[in-house]
Amino acid sequence: MKLIAAIALFVLSLALAVLGVADRTIWAPKPTKSLSVEFDSGYPYVVIPEATLGTYAGNPTITVSGSKKAYIASGREADIRAWLGQTSNTELSVVTKSKKTKLKVKSNFGNSNFANPRQSDLWRNEVTAIKAASLEIDKAQNAGVLVASDGFTAAPGKISIVWPVVHDLTSSNALLIAALVLLAGAFALNAWHLADLRKRGGPRRRLPKAPQGPKTRRHKSQLVLPGKGRRVARKTAASLIGISVMASLAGCSDPSVQATPTPTPTSDVIVADPPVVVEKQLERILANVADVAATADEAKDKQLLEARFDGPALALRSTHYTLMKKSSKIDALPAISAKPLTWSLPASTSQWPRTIMAVTDTPGSALPQMLVMQQDNPRAKYIVYYFMNLVPGAEIPAVPVPEVGAIPVSADSAYLRVPPRDIPVTYGDVIDKGSSSLSAGIYNVKKDKYYADVSALQKTQSEKLTNATIKFKHTLGTAKVLALATSNGGALVAVYMKDTYTIKPKKAGSGVTVSGSEKLLLGKNGSVKGVVSTYGNMMLFFVPALTDSDRAVLLGVSQGLLAVRGL
C-alpha cells in the first residue's frame, strides 16, 4: 500500500512540476506590450497624455526618432498643457477597433508662440539626443510626456511606447513548491516501504508444492460488470478526485496583463491639487540655483545672479557684492547649497504663481538655510526671493508631507493672528516699544534673540547720540509676501522688512559720521545734514490661526545693508 501511495505522489508531483514550468514558459505572456505610430509631424510639439500612458500597466518607455534632434520630457500633464498654452501641437491618443489597439494622431491648431522646452522647471525628467531618444516614464502623479526637437522645427514623427509586462509567478512558484513537497513525500513513503521489507526479512525460500490434479479451465465471460465492495468504491472515488484536481490545475493560466483602469471621481468627490514639484524635480532646481549663485559669487556679478534671484534675495546679495569690491575686508556671504535637502514644502496648486520652501544644510555653517522660491508663469523659472538662516532652536511646526503639498495663503489673510503683509510694521513696533506696543500680544519674543539684539542696539544708539536725533522706521519691503499653510491652520510666512535709521545733528555746523560698511557705501565719512541708512531683513515667521492661543514666532532671518545716503 505504501508503494502505491508513493507512486501516486510521484506522479502527482510530476504533473504539478509540469504545470509550474509551463506557467513560466508556454503559458507566460509576452514580456512587453507596445504601440507605435509614424506620421508627418508638422508641429514642433507632440503631447502624450496621461490616459495614453495608462493604456497598460507598468511604467512605459518612450522612444522617438525622425528628426535631427530628439527631445523627451515628462511632467504633470496639466503643466505640459499650461506650458504649451494655445501653441499648435500634435496629440497621441489610443483607440480600439476590431479588438485591435493603436495610436491615433490628432492635430491641435493654435498660435506660433514657440519656445525651446529644454530645462524647464516644470519637467521631472528630460533627455536630449541626436536623431533618436528614449526615456522611461514614471506614471505617478498625473504624468504626461512632451516630445519635440528644438521647439521650433517639426517634432520627431516616429514614436513608440513600450510597457513591460510583469508576469506574476505566484501560482508557478506554488505549483513547483507543492511538487517538491509531494516528491519528498513520495521518497519518504518509498523509504518506509523498504524499511518494512527489511524488518520482515525480505523474500523467503520457495517450498515444494504438493502434486495437484488437473485444473478446470473456466471460460471468460464476455460481459464486464463493474466491481463491487468498499475497496472498489474507494479506488473509484480517488480516481475521480485525481481527475478533477488535474483538470482544475490544467485550467489555471495567468491571464494577459490588461490596462489598469483609472478611477473617475464622482461629482461629490473633491480632488485636491497635487504638489507643484516632486522631490527629484526640486533637487534639480536647487542644484541649478546653487550653480548660478556660486558663479555669481565668484565673479561678484549681479547680472549673473539675476538668472535665479530677484527681490530681497537679489538686493541684499548685490549690495554685498558692491561692498566686497570696495574692500577686501568684507567677508563673502554664505554659499547657497543645494544638498543635503533636509526639509521641503511645495505648494499644492494648479495655478500660478507657485511657491516652494526648502531647507538645506550650508557647508561650513552651523545653521540650516531656508530658500523660498516662486514661479510666476509656466515658462518662467523658479526664482529665489528669500534666503535666510534658521535661528538657533527654531522648530518648524507640523506641515503637510511634500507628496501632498501645502495650500498657499494670501498676503492679506484675515484668518491668521496677523495678516502676513502687516508683520513688518507690527513686529517693528514691538522692537521699538517692547511690551508697551499694541502688538506685543501677537509675538512670542521670550527666546527671540534677533528681537533682543536689535531692540538693545536701538536703545543704545538713542542713549549715545547726545548731539543728534535718531528715528527708526520699519516697513514692508516688498509686496511679494510668500506664505504656505501648516497642518494646524497657521502659516509659514516669508516677508521682507526694511529698517530705516535716520540720524540728524541737533545743532547747525555739526555733522553725522559713519564707519564700516556704511562708510563704504556712502563714499565718505559722513554728512553735515544727517545720514539715512537702510537695512533689509528677510524673515520667516510661523503665524498661528486666528482662533489659536499661540503667538507668532520668528524662525529665520538674514539681515544686510542696502543703502546709505546723506541728507
Q: What is the pLDDT of residue 25?
A: 77
Whether pLDDT at 133 is above 60: yes
Residues 288, 395 within the same domain: yes
Distances (CA, A) of 23 to 11, 13, 509: 19, 15, 102
Range of the domain at 16: 1-28+167-196
| N- to C-terminal Cα separation, the chain | 116
Last residue of a domain, one of 144, 179, 196: 196
Are residues 418 and 504 both part of a single domain?
yes
Those residues with Cβ within 8 angstroms of residue 418's Cβ, 6 or more apart along the chain or in another chain:
426, 439, 442, 543, 552
pLDDT of 481 reads 97
Q: What is the pLDDT of residues 351-366, one digit of tens each?
A: 999 999 999 987 777 7
| For range 208-213, the mean pLDDT | 58
Specify if 322 maps to a domain.
yes
* Same domain as 182, residue 149: no
Q: State which of 164, 184, 209 marks the end of a domain.
A: 164
Whether 266 maps to a domain, the answer reads: no
For residue 514, being part of any structural domain is answered with: yes
pLDDT, position 271: 61
Does residue 256 sit within a domain? no
Please report whether residue 225 resides in a domain.
no
Confidence bin at 439 (pLDDT 50/70/90): very high
| Stretch (H or E) spanning 81 | helix 77-84
pLDDT value, residue 211:
59
Tell me whether residue 297 is in a domain.
yes
Could you tell me the pLDDT band of residue 459, with boundaries at 50, 70 and 90? very high
pLDDT, mean of residues 391-418: 95
Q: Are residues 180 and 135 in the same domain?
A: no
pLDDT number for residue 13: 82
Would you say residue 265 lies in a domain? Answer: no
Residues 77 and 123 in one domain: yes
Q: How many residues does the chain have?
A: 567
Of the candidates 196, 215, 240, which is a domain's last residue? 196
pLDDT at 240 over 50: no
pLDDT at residue 227 greater than cutoff 80: no
Residue 261 or residue 185, greater confidence: 185
> Degrees (nearest 5) of the Cα angle 391, 396, 397?
150
Radius of gyration of the chain, Cα coordinates, nearest whole angstrom = 39
185 shares its domain with 78: no
Instruction: Judge if 429 and 511 occupy the same domain.
Output: yes
Same domain, 69 and 103: yes
Domain count, the chain: 3
* Domain match, 440 and 336 both: yes
| CB-CB contact of 61 with 36 (8 Å) | no
Q: What is the pLDDT of residues 289-340, one digit of tens each?
A: 999 999 999 999 999 999 999 999 999 999 999 999 999 999 988 889 998 9
Q: Are residues 435 and 546 in the same domain?
A: yes
Same domain for 363 and 434? yes
Mean pLDDT of 15-25: 81
The percentage of the chain sitting over the pLDDT mark of 90, rounded to a whole number, equals 64
Tell me, yes or no, whether 137 and 192 share the same domain.
no
Q: Has residue 5 been placed in a domain?
A: yes
Closest to 37 measured CA to CA, from 89, 92, 74: 92
pLDDT tier at 43 (50, 70, 90 boundaries)?
Answer: very high
| Confidence band of 267 (pLDDT split at 50, 70, 90) | very low
The vertex-60 CA angle with 59 and 61, nearest 5°, equals 130
State pLDDT tens for residues 532-561. Answer: 999 999 999 999 999 999 999 999 999 999
Least trusted range by pLDDT, from 221-225, 313-317, 501-505? 221-225
Q: How far apart are CA 310 and CA 299, in angstroms?
A: 18
